[in-house]
């Protein structure tokens, strides 16, 4: 019996959960970056709830996503440059938080 054919010419040998994610990265390199951006939006909406402030929930969601991006980089799911993008977004969210607090 022959091994099941993968839908692409991917070379990853799937043996568990981690190698499944490696296979995903091989066939779709931007997948986890999109996951992080989606997570940022979802967490922002959840944290925001019914309040009318935007900076604080954005800073909270950015922090969570920054930690996730560093962990994803450790697991080789995303590039260095995307990790730095999320760190810089986190720093930018701090700027927004301070500006919103200073206006009130």
Partner 1 sequence: MLARDWIIVLVLFGLVSGLGYLVVEDIASSSRGYDVPNMTDEDYTERYDTLTNSTTDIYKMQNATTSEQGINIVSTFTTMFNATFTIIGLVFGSFGMTAATIGNLAQDLGMSASLTNLIAGSLLLIIITLIVFIVISSVSKGRL
Distance separating alpha carbons of residues 38 and 47, to the nearest angstrom: 14
**Among 33, 40, 66, 68, interactor with partner 1 by CB under 8 A:** 66
Q: Exposed/middle/buried for 48, CB within 10 Å: 0-12, 13-18, 19+?
A: middle
In the complex, least distance from residue 8 CB atom to partner 1, rounded to whole angstroms? 26
Task: Please choose, out of 15-23, 30-38, 47-55, 81-89, the segment that lies near partner 1 by the rule CB under 8 A.
Answer: 81-89
Task: Please choose, out of 3-11, 12-20, 24-32, 84-92, the segment that lies near partner 1 by the rule CB under 8 A.
Answer: 84-92
In the complex, least distance from residue 70 CB atom to partner 1, rounded to whole angstroms? 6
CA distances from 13 to 3, 5, 10, 24, 103 (A): 11, 12, 9, 12, 55
**Among 2, 5, 80, 104, interactor with partner 1 by CB under 8 A:** 80
């Amino acid at each position: 019996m022959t091994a099941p054919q993968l839908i692409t010419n991917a070379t990853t040998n799937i043996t568990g959960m981690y190698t499944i994610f490696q296979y995903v990265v091989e066939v779709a390199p931007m997948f986890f970056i999109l996951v992080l951006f989606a997570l940022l939006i979802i967490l922002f909406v959840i944290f925001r709830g019914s309040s009318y402030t935007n900076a604080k929930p954005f800073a909270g969601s950015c922090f969570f996503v920054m930690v996730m991006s560093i962990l994803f980089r450790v697991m080789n799911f995303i590039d260095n440059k995307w990790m730095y993008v999320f760190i810089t977004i986190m720093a930018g969210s701090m700027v927004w938080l301070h500006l919103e607090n200073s206006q009130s």
